[in-house]
Chains A and B, each alone.
Chain A
Amino acid sequence: MRTASKKSYVLVWIALLTLLLLTWGLAEINLGPFNNVAALCISVAKMLLVVLFFMHGRYEKALTWIFICAGVIWFLIMVDLTLSDYLTRGDVRDGVSTSWHHPQVNPPTLQPGTTRELQHQIPR
């Protein structure tokens, strides 16, 4: 298996520390929504450096990359479909789920006439 040289490891290490200072520095500046974007991009860059060089991802075969990508993709599936709920709450007025995130409204109490479904009466 082809291997990296000592020098490449040192260069990657220096790059990682540089990115660390960059991410800290950028957090101290107000870039609006780009703060989040920048922080995420820098983290992804650091991760790629570690995976490709320190973990020898550069030399690994396709099957290994399928395993790596599977973990990431499955995490993104979880995020994407869960956010499809959270980002669309309140898009359709249904009386209950629109106001879930205001602590003073929660928890709703069961009273007759609310939108919560009451179960059938059962004999005791």
Chain B
Amino acid sequence: MADAHAALQEQFEEMPQQKEAATLGMWAFLATEVLFFGAMFMSYIVYRTTYPQAFAEASHHTIVLFGTINTAILLTSSFTVAMAVHAARQNNIKWLFRLLAITVFFGLAFLAVKGLEYHEDLNENLWPGPHFKSELPPQAQIFWILYWIMTGVHAVHVTVGVVLLSIMAWMTSRRKFSDAYYTPIEISALYWHFVDIIWIYLYPLLYLIHRYSA
């Protein structure tokens, strides 16, 4: 009987139904996150089409090296978490744990690089307000407001993902998962991939506007 499985909740009849519901639920949640970030991307699009020069000038003060390194880190972390799910499917619990831990490490690395970058940005007077870099036109402040908010909200999501994957790693160490049941790992991985995808768009939009004229 399916409900002999310890993880089956009472509103479901069988485990596959529960797993499909959980997966579909996470995809629906990710759709909401697209709209959540979408409002910021909308604002970016409006102002970039209106002030293309100012936006290009403003973006030349972002640190391309840090942005590129961070993109590489997140892309790799997507790879490692996908491998973690693969390990779960093969019932390779040892590697499941290791790959989750490596992904968490990459997440923290991303945040560390971001922190360094923020520090540099602040030193360059790129915080919007009365002390904003005076060489830049006023519309450049709009770019930088969007930069801080978009990368900030993204960093919050990275942090949530790091916490989530850490919990998954801890639960793995307590033998909660096997190839018969690893749904929480899968849906946490989906969330992590989404965080990566958002950054895939943020990177060119924030760092790569007309770099040839920087």
CB within 8 Å of B: which residues of A?
Answer: 3-4, 6, 9-10, 12-13, 16-17, 20, 23-24, 27-30, 35, 39-40, 42-43, 46-47, 50-51, 53-55, 63-64, 67-68, 70-72, 74-75, 78-79, 82-83, 86-87, 101, 103
Contact = CB atoms under 8 A, between A and B. Distances in A.
A17 to B, nearest CB: 6
B102 interface: no
Contacts of B197: 46-47, 50-51
15 contacts: A4-B86, A13-B78, A23-B204, A39-B208, A42-B204, A46-B197, A47-B197, A50-B193, A54-B79, A71-B32, A75-B34, A75-B35, A79-B45, A86-B49, A86-B50
A46 to B, nearest CB: 5
B41 A75 contact: yes
Contacts of A17: 72, 75-76
B163 interface: no
A54 B68 contact: no
Nearest to B81: A54
Given A50-B196, A86-B49, A64 B64 contact: no
A4 B189 CA distance: 15
A10 B75 CA distance: 12
Nearest to A13: B79
B46 interface: yes
A50 B212 CA distance: 28
B166 interface: no
Interface in B43-88: 45-46, 49-51, 64, 68, 71-72, 75-76, 78-79, 81-83, 86
Interface string B10-40: 0000000000000110011011111100110
B46 A83 contact: yes
B31 A6 contact: no
A29 B212 contact: yes
A75 B38 contact: yes
B139 interface: yes
Contact of B200 (A27, A30, A50, A87): A50
B213 interface: yes
A27 B212 contact: yes
Contacts of B139: 103
Q: Which 4 residue pairs spanning A and B have beta carbons closest together?
A: A71-B31, A71-B34, A27-B208, A13-B79
B136 to A, nearest CB: 13
Contacts of B201: 43, 47
Contacts of A68: 27, 30-31
B30 A54 contact: no
A63 B76 CA distance: 29
Contacts of A30: 210, 212-213
A13 B76 contact: yes
Contact of A82 (B27, B33, B42, B138): B42
B204 A27 contact: yes
Nearest to B46: A86
A71 B41 CA distance: 14
A10 to B, nearest CB: 8
Contacts of B86: 3-4, 6, 9
Contacts of B89: 3
